[in-house]
Structures are given as structure tokens and as C-alpha cells.
Chains A and B, each alone.
Chain A
């Protein structure tokens, strides 16, 4: 989580909390207001009920009074009358605020005091006079003098208790109900205001709390989208750049290899001539330099392919000992030139045939050995190889040791990183591109193998590699080939004149006879005109390329079944893996060597020439 994201999270959390707090406050205010209004109305209802009760009591008193002289149990009636009078007086005291009324009731009783107290003969006075008269009546025994003198009182108690007092109390109730309705209207306004306030609060929260937050999040999303778009654009640019770089490297590699092919070939051929020892030595140095340059070109291209993820392996049958011995031979030269010893022990049967990429295997060994030589100033370089077979799979173990300066522990994990080894090499005063080991690790990985490094500073380095390889099971022996009359006839097709000359010379050295063609058209004409034992076909040529020419040759003519070997300077082996599916029998890569040509001629035209198949 970066700082910006943490800040946004903090702000969001803070704003969310603030919004929740405000809503909680609003909700509490609403609840308390509603509760308070509810309580108020409950007290108002109590007050109204009390006034209504007065109305009933006055009627009760009137009724009891009218029955006093008629009832058989006047005492019971008088008691009831007393109780009703007492209750009505008590409540009247409360209603006129004469007694200690409940504070909550007082709120509703205060506004109606005018009903009790206003006028020249206030209603309060009427009620009290009524109660006094009722008491006078209740105290008199029917038939007594007091009873007689209370005749008006009885009359008035009955009259007022039946009509005037209930009516006036009803009027008071009506006024209180009008007050209640007004309060209800006010309550609705309060409710409305609360509702509007809540809406306002929610709006304010939305505008002032979540609005800015939303904008911020939207800005962040925009920024992310912009960054993504930039990244995509950059990726597209980088991709285009990488592709351009790749195209350039391919082209450059092809262009460099073509003259290099001629140089190496000619050096090879000239050395076959009888030259002086000095000249031979010079030619050998020239070959070493050329090989080195070739190796560098391949290393650069491989590093680029590894970076692109387009590095792939060839899949062909080969004798596992060959690339190991080749690497050993080359290293031997390197060691000799540097005054180092090479302790090579290749414990691999020369009959062990496997499927895989022999060139890449040699490259792995050479890279490791080259590195060992490079970082070793004195002593020797060791190279051990062995195989172990398990269920048709050969596990090749390679161990490269040196007595060089070693690698500090802190740098050991970085040696397989691209360009890291370069810095290391420069730091230690040796040259190098710094891509060999990383490419090696990639190749080992592609082969399904493992690579490990053990080093001690000042004591040397040990690199071990294990690679599983599918074993080749030889097919049934081919029928015995017819005896041959004369030299092996080879059609060489290449648009580059020096390369044609080199190939021709090598075919001759191997005891063959060459016919030359400079493009596909000439190749087809030649193949239609005569029979050949072997055709070496360049791929990239003007007018008609090697693939098209091969397809035509395979269609008809005397060379329909003649082995055709693709000879290509195409730097990418993976560009031509399907050449085998397009009519070619083998692919060899430039620069061509006399051994390579001789070997191919032997394999495809010799008595042991037979197709190979892979183990399951």
C-alpha cells in the first residue's frame, strides 16, 4: 500500500465515521423529539381525561342529590355523594392550579385557566359554589329544617350539575382538543422540519463529506486509468522497440554471419593446402577469432531471444558425446593459449544417441568453460561429463570447475542475472558481455535441467548442470545400399558466391563432386536435368527461395527422394523448425565446416544412412 492509497483510506475512514456520527446525532435528535412529543401528548391526554371526569362527576353529584329523599338507604347515597364531591373538589383544585399539580400537567392547564377564572362570575366560582351547595345538601337529613332551608341548594345542584357544569366542562375539553390539534399541526411541522433537516443533513454529508471523497476516488481512478494507458503505450512502444531491435539483430546477425561463413570456410580450406607452419598458425588464430566473433553474435542474439521469450530448442537426433567433445576441444585451445591446464573427463559412450539440440548443448558447455577460463589466471579448468540412464531417459551431468578467483558469496546469486555478470567481469578486470551465464541458465531451464553454482572466493568455482535427454532407439538396419560408382554428386545452391565456393571446396575435400546453383530457379533446373546424391539448399535467395525450390523438386523429377539439407544463415533456429516438414531432411547452420559437410555426406549417402526415431 503506497502513501497515496493509505491517505485515501484514512480520509475515507474519517469521512465515513463523521457521516455515521452526524446521522447518529440526527437520528437521536429525531428519536428524542418524537419521544418528548409523545410524552407531552400523554400528559395532555391525562389533563383532558381529568376535565372529562369532572363533567361526569358533576352529573353524578346531581343524580345523587336528586335521589337523596327518595332512596331507602340515604346514608349510602350521602357517602357516595361525599366521595364524589371530594374527588371533584380535589380534581378542580388541580385543574385550577390550586393544588400542587404535576408540572407536566401544569403545562396544559395553564393555558385554560382563563376558562375557569374569566368573567364577572367565573366558572371556577360556579364550580366551587356548586360543591359548597352539594356539601350543604349532603349534610342535611331529609325532612329536617336544614333540609328545608337547603331547597335552593338542592335545586341548583341538580340543575347546574345536569346542564351548566357538564356543558362548561365539555367546552373546556373542546378547547383542550383544539389546543391538541394545534399541537398536532405544530408536531407535523416539527416532523416535517426534522425530515427536511435529515434530508439536508444527508445532502450535506453527500456534498461535503462523500462528494469530495468521490471526486478524490474518481481522480485516483482517472490517474490509474491514465497511468495504465501510459503503461500500455509504453509497453507498446517498448514492444515495438524490442521488435525493431530483434529485427535489427536478426538482420545484423545474418549479414555478419554470411561473410564470416566465408572467412571461416576459406581458412579451413587453405589449411588443407600445404602451407607453412607459420601460415597455418596464423590461419588457426584467424579461425579462433572468427569462432569467437561467431560465438559473440550467437550470444547476443540468444540473449535477446531469451529476453523476448522466443528462445526455443531444436529437436534432432545427435550423439551426445559430440557436442561435449567439441566443447572440450575448443576449450583446450583456449586453455592452451592462456597457459592453463584442462582436465577433461567425458565419460559418455560414443554410441549414446539422444533427441535434443546438440548446438545448444555445446553452447551450454562452452559458455561455462569459457567463463571458467576467463576468470582463471593460473591453474586449471576441469570439465567432467557423464550420463546415467533411467527408463529410456539419459541424465547428462556436467561439472565445470576452475581454480580461478571465485565469486564472493554476496554476488553468487546474481551471476545468472543478465548483464550482472558483465559488471562483475568489468570489476574484476576481465571482459565479457555478461549474457552468457544468464542465457545458459535459460537454455538449461528450457531443456528441463538444473544448474547450480558453488564458489569460494580465491579458491575457485564449481558449476554443475544436469539435463534429461530422450534416448534415441535405432531403427531396423536399412537395406544394404547399392554400390556406388564414382564420387558423391552434390548440388550446392547458395546466392552468395563465396559461400558457394566454400561449400564446393568442402564437398571436394570430402570426396564429392559439386554442381552449383545461385538461386532456387537454377536449383530446380539442375535437379530436373540430372540426378544427385545430396542437395545443400540455402533458404534465403532471390527469385526463388530454398523452400519453394525444394517443394518443386519433391514434386517430380529424378531427385524426388534425394536428401535435401537446408543450409541457413538464419539466426533464429526457431524460425526454421518446420523446414523438416517442408521437404528438407536436415537443417545445418552457417558457417559450415568441412567436418560438418563431410559428416552430412557420410550420413545421408553412406552405407549407414537410415532414419532415426525418438524413444517414447
Chain B
């Protein structure tokens, strides 16, 4: 524990120019506030309660969570993220008077496809998923013109798939899970189309634009509540859902689907056989860290192998402990330079 504190004090030194200013800000009253990814939210709750006992977690999605962390008055102490912070977000933090971001890597989280447990098996590939959820698809037969996707039934995606209407309940815009799904599954699937593979090489922005998801009812944004989405799946048996592996484990009455022939388990997520995997992060600011001892305690807890390491509490909750779990770095928002932290 002392080691952690020393390290934190040490990492505060390079950003000394803004520390006095940030330190002058009063410690906000009330519980520690956490915003961001719904994937990270439950871990934040557990860790916060173990470290301090008073935390309020808001599932705003990764992008909104990071924005809140750097917003005026720094209303939240932590932002949970299902991806790494982007350079433009770092820049916005600099504009929001946050000089240094602190990044903690929590572990690996799978993105899994689920359905009501009474449904017939639906084994999808990345290409299937692309053909089902992309807003536009090539006309086909050598014609690369992108046309609105009119496919309504899985059987029309691939003849071997069952006769079942396409309805995918997935995370909304701003969700890192959605971005990861597009990146890992939809983009991969699109590449299987020769037209789009060529487009990616020749005009990447146009290619990325072609990966937008449908808005005609085949894809349904579920909002931030995984519980509601999970329950909806039990009421709409034809639908499939996109969940983080962590949440999927918690839902009753649902079963996970294999993707590209691999069933998602802690082992297949950890060893990379299951390909829909992203990393989970927790962000705070150096100012919060130095100003509020509770924040420091939580950071310490998140770096504790007993929590994030193999066999730890978070892995028991579904987070897969990667090699980098517990790794931390400081990001200078002005320059974007980062400084790894020792354990």
C-alpha cells in the first residue's frame, strides 16, 4: 500500500505545473462518482465499495464517461472505458484543464452474442454478422455499388442459417462495446467482400463509412441497461443480443453463441482463440488522485493482483485477467506523451 502511494507521488511530480492548481480545488462532497462503460461499472462498484464504501456509478458509455472525467469542474472521479482513450479525447481533457490522465488496465473482456436459451443454435461468422447488420452492402455479382441492406432473415444471409428474422439488440452509439464489435467483427466480415477489401485499401474513410450499422429495425440500440436488454431477449425469442462477456455471465435465461466457430469462455478469451475481445480500462486524473485520498485508495485497489490478477475478485466476476492487468500509465494531455508506472 505504501508502495502504491509512493509511486503515485512519484508520478505526480512530472506534472507539477498543474498539481498546485488542481490541488487547490476542493474535494467534492458526497460519494466517489464513477461514469462510463457499463462493462467496467460493476467492477468499479465492487472496488469502490471495498476501498471506500461510497461510490455512485453512472453507465454513460465509454465516450461520455471520458468526457465527464475531463468536463468542467471534473464532476466524476473515474471513467470506466471499454477501450483506450483516443488522442482527440486526450486533447479535449487538456482543454478541460486536466493536465494528466491516469490509465489503469483492468483486463480482457469478450464481446459475446447471446440469445434466449430455448432457441435453436445460431453459429455466426464475422461475415454473417456483417451481412446482417451493415447498413449498406455491395450489390453483388461483381457490382461493388453499395445498396441499402434489405436482408430480413438469417437464412438469406447464409443458406445454412435458420429461418429466423434478423433482430440484433446491441449497444448504442458512444458505447465502446459497439465500437469494438464494429472493429473486430463487422470490419473483419466486410473484408471478406472483395469489393470492400479493395475499398479499404483505396479509400479507408469510405470503407469505414460502409461499416455503419442498420437503422431499419434489424439492429436495435439497447440504451445503457444490460438488464433491460437481457430481459428483452427473453421476451423477443427471435432476437440476439450483444453483451460484454462480463454481463452475459450474469444474465439468466440466456445462452452465449459461438462466433467464427469458437465458443466464448474465460479460456478462449484469454488465449485469443475467441476473437471478439477488447481491453477494459479505468481512467482518472492526477488532480483527483492527489486531491482525494479515496481515489488514491481505489487506484491502489485496482492495481492489486488480489483483485485483478488470476483468481481475483474481478476475474470471478467475469473479467479475464490478461498479462497486462494492473498495468498503469500517466498521459500528459498537452503532449500526449505517456509514462508507464511501476507496480
Determine chain A's interface SS by DSSP, over half rule. helix
Determine the residue in chain A with the shortest Cβ distance to B64. A159
Q: CB within 8 Å of B: which of A167-196?
A: 167-172, 174-175, 178-179
Contact yes or no, B33 A152, CB < 8 A: yes
Given A156-B60, A167-B223, A171-B229, A114 contacting B76 (CB threshold 8 A): no
- Chain B: interface size category: 35 or more
Q: Are the CB atoms of B33 and A123 closer together than 8 Å? A: no
CB distance from A173 to the nearest CB of B (A): 10
Are B225's CB and A126's CB within 8 A? yes
Q: Which residues of B (222-249) have their CB < 8 Å from a CB of A?
A: 222-232, 234-236
* B60–A167 touching, CB < 8 Å: no
Interchain CA distance A164-B75 in the complex, whole Å: 19
Interface flags for A131-148 (1: CB within 8 Å of B; 0: not) read 000000000000000001
Flag if A156 contacts B68 (CB, 8 Å): yes
B71 lies within 8 A of chain A by Cβ: yes
Within the complex, the shortest CB–CB distance from B119 to chain A, in Å, comes to 14
Q: Tell me which residues across on chain A come within 8 A of B41, comparing CB atoms.
A: 121
Complex: A190 Cα to B38 Cα, angstroms: 43
A252 within 8 A of B: no
Contact with B along A104-145 (1 / 0, CB 8 A): 000000011011111111110010010000000000000000
A522 CB to closest chain B CB (Å) equals: 116
Instruction: Name the residue on A nearest B57 (C-beta).
Output: A121
A496 at the interface (CB under 8 A from B): no
Interface of B: prevailing SS: mixed
CB < 8 Å: which of B33, B35, B221, B227 contacts A119? B227
Is B223's CB under 8 angstroms from A118's CB? Answer: no
B42, B220, B223: most-surrounded residue (chain A CB, <10 A)? B223
Q: How far is the CA of A155 from the CA of B225 in the complex (A)?
A: 18
Query: Is the CB of B305 closer than 8 A to any CB of chain A?
Result: no
Bound-state Cα–Cα, A507 to B37, Å: 155
Determine the residue in chain B with the shortest Cβ distance to A133: B58
CB of B72 within 8 Å of the partner chain = yes
- The verdict on A118 contacting B230 (CB below 8 Å), with A126-B59, A151-B75, A164-B223 known, is yes
Question: Is B235's CB under 8 angstroms from A123's CB?
Answer: no
| A233 lies within 8 A of chain B by Cβ | no
Known contacts A155-B68, A160-B60; A115 and B228 CB within 8 A of each other: yes
Partner of B223, one of A112, A148, A166: A166
Decide if B42 touches A175 in the complex (CB within 8 Å).
no
Q: Which residues from B are CB-within-8-Å of A126?
A: 59, 224-225
Chain B residues whose CB sits within 8 angstroms of the CB of A168 once the complex forms? 222-225, 228
Q: Are B221 and A170 in contact (CB under 8 A)?
A: yes
Report Cα–Cα, A111/B232, bound state, in Å: 10
Contacting residues, chain B, for A148 (C-beta < 8 A)? 73
B57 CB contacts on chain A under 8 angstroms: 121
Can you list 6 A-B pairs with a CB-CB distance of less than 8 A? A155-B67, A156-B58, A163-B61, A163-B174, A163-B223, A174-B232
Spell out B's residues near A (CB within 8 Å).
28-29, 33, 35, 38, 41-42, 45, 57-61, 64, 67-68, 71-73, 75-76, 169, 172-174, 220-232, 234-236, 250
